[in-house]
Structure 1
Amino acid sequence: MSIPREDLPVTERHDVYPAIDPQPHFDNQTYRDKVVLITGSSRGIGQEIALFYAKSGAIVVLVARQQDTLDEVKNAIAKDVPAATIATFVADVKNTKEVQAAVEGAVEKFGKLDIVFANAGKGNEWKKPFTECDPDDWWSTMEVNVRGVYNAAHYSLPHLDKTGGYFIITSSVGAQMRRPFGSAYELSKHTLGRLNEFIKIEHPQVKSMAVHPGGILTKLADLVPEIHKYLVDTLQLPAATMLQLTSGKYDWFSGRFVSANWDLAEVEGKYKEKILAEEALVSRLAIPA
């Protein structure tokens, strides 16, 4: 799914397009010596983001719950990028101590953090009211999606302050919707939008964005078959978008919601001044004129 066109009428993208072409980053090794940590990097969007940064010269730190899946991703990236520097840390993002150990382990090993992707997430079936759902499973979605991002932010932001780095939250178009039976997922993603805004206020040296990665048929999306018809975007779309968002060109998005489906060049050319003047793309009550 994508943001309704009437909300931000720009070209809707579903795959890599000229304004986010990653090849210049690959060719020029734009992210050489940058340390990039990615939670939820054992498959799907997280794995593709890791690959794109490795191909752009970055030192990549993979974080997920199981060592065997981390090793699979590490080996796959190394096969594609033999010279890549890759480290792995096992951590459940809900576990404060494990996230702390992963972040501090990465800093101890490489000396700094430049970019952190809080990508780990959880979905649930959208079949019945939340009062008929297992309350522990409902809350588990909130814990992974909110506490997991909070934990990553809590321990990485002090290091990102030092480098003037980036903290990127994997959000969702669901953050802006209220679909029946989707309360755990959509509420958790909506909450992340506000957390993103607090990061900008409390850590102004860091560029923080809540990014909808597009509609992608990931393992998480398997739980909601009724939306599969909307999931037509490639994994390369969010990966290429992230390279652009952390390149310095789009720092003005900091503290805001961004969709990978939006043509970034059009958004900048047509709406940047208005977005900044009206403090748009944030969560707030709006009163019709």
Structure 2
Amino acid sequence: MSGRLQHRVALITGAGSGIGLESSVLFAQEGAHILLCDINLQGAQKGADLISERYPQVKAIAIKCDVSKEEDIKNAVDTAVKEFGRLDVMFNNAGIMHPQDDNALNTEESIWDLTMQINLKGVWWGCKYAILAMRQNPTDVSKGLHTGGSIINTASFVALMGAATPQLAYTASKGGVLAMTRELAMVHAREGIRLNSLCPGPLKTPLLMDFLNTEEKRQRRMVHLPMGRFGEAIEQAKAALFLASDDSSYMTGTDFTVDGGLSSAYVTATGEPILPPPPSLANN
């Protein structure tokens, strides 16, 4: 453990699985106290128990949080401040990719509204209450703690270039996350509050694999991936750690793209992947 988040407090939504779970474990490994938030409390609690077992020097708490409800997000931030005394990192990671999300002709309004409520409005609320909390952070120079903090919002590569498989509501919601993050980064830069978007490429997580539920859909994505494989959640967690830590202290308002080269590719090479994916932290 290098302690890049020593003495810091991180709140992570969607912490019960995928990127959120891997990030929770990795942030704890780096010294942060963690509030794991998920609509699936059982998954979040499993992560908290794992952290407590591996890293007893930090504290991990799991709570149920539906990010489509403003009161749940406010309660999560209030809980972090009450339990740990401050909030240094807010990772607005929770989101959905609905299997009935399609093109402009076939996507139902209810699917559009649900996606926006979770993926965009939920991130707005997360930013709002995190900013209010970070403004109040007490300064402890001996521990390197100050007012301000880092807010990370999960967007997607499809917000930058569009998706080969139609998913209009998801794509539009993630584009909104990018625009909102940039604006908030400019507004709050002088307060020491940094905001950056994390733009993952296609990942081998339940969220995407449930959406790419046919071999045809999976191959349509795979053909665009220069590395020849889907990404792993741990690879996004490592990127989130960089954005959360002082290693990225001069970064705000960025679209941090971690997509295996997809957004730089016109065509891709053929053949098997050369490098295997890194191992998961949460499942070892």
* TM tier, smaller: 0.7 to 0.9
Q: Residue 238 of structure 2 corresponds to which residue in structure 1?
A: 240
Backbone CA RMSD of aligned residues:
2.0
How far 1:127 sits from its partner (Å)? 7.2
**Does 1:175 pair with 2:159?**
yes
CA spacing shift, 1:238–1:194, aligned 2, 3 Å = same
Aligned pairs for 1:156-195 within 5 A: 156-161=130-135, 162=137, 163-179=147-163, 181-195=166-180
CA spacing shift, 1:76–1:189, aligned 2, 3 Å = same
Task: Return the TM-score normalized by structure 1.
Answer: 0.76
On the 8 A contact 2:92/2:154 being kept in 1, the answer is: yes
Q: Residue 28 of structure 2 corresponds to which residue in structure 1?
A: 54
CA spacing shift, 1:128–1:61, aligned 2, 3 Å = closer
1: CA distance, partners of 2:120 / 2:24: 22
Aligned pairs for 1:266-281 within 5 A: none
CA spacing shift, 1:148–1:262, aligned 2, 3 Å = same
On the 8 A contact 2:15/2:43 being kept in 1, the answer is: no
Greater Cα shift, 221-230 or 237-246:
221-230
Greater Cα shift, 236-245 or 90-99:
236-245
Q: Residue 182 of structure 2 corresponds to which residue in structure 1?
A: 197
On the 8 A contact 1:36/1:116 being kept in 2, the answer is: yes
How far 1:128 sits from its partner (Å)? 4.4
CA spacing shift, 1:248–1:262, aligned 2, 3 Å = farther
Q: Residue 213 of structure 1 corresponds to which residue in structure 2?
A: 200
Name the % identity.
25
Letter in 2 for 1:168: I
Q: Residue 258 of structure 1 corresponds to which residue in structure 2?
A: 256
1: CA distance, partners of 2:201 / 2:158: 11
1: CA distance, partners of 2:53 / 2:80: 22
1:75-106: CA deviation from partner (whole Å, max 9, x where unpaired): 22223323331012211001011111111111
How far 1:215 sits from its partner (Å)? 2.6
The answer for unaligned runs of 5 or more in structure 2 is: 138-146, 262-284
1:140-176: CA deviation from partner (whole Å, max 9, x where unpaired): 1111100110111111112223422000001110111
CA spacing shift, 1:87–1:127, aligned 2, 3 Å = closer
Greater Cα shift, 116-125 or 221-230:
221-230
2: CA distance, partners of 1:77 / 1:102: 19
1: CA distance, partners of 2:12 / 2:101: 31
2: CA distance, partners of 1:39 / 1:176: 23
On the 8 A contact 1:130/1:138 being kept in 2, the answer is: no
CA spacing shift, 1:196–1:29, aligned 2, 3 Å = same
Aligned residue pair count: 237
Letter in 2 for 1:224: L
Q: Residue 99 of structure 1 corresponds to which residue in structure 2?
A: 73
How far 1:258 sits from its partner (Å)? 0.8
On the 8 A contact 2:39/2:65 being kept in 1, the answer is: yes
2: CA distance, partners of 1:127 / 1:66: 22
Aligned pairs for 1:116-135 within 5 A: 116-125=90-99, 128-135=102-109
Q: Residue 113 of structure 1 corresponds to which residue in structure 2?
A: 87
2: CA distance, partners of 1:126 / 1:69: 24
CA spacing shift, 1:53–1:135, aligned 2, 3 Å = same
How far 1:45 sits from its partner (Å)? 0.5
Greater Cα shift, 28-37 or 131-140:
131-140
Task: Return the TM-score normalized by structure 2.
Answer: 0.77
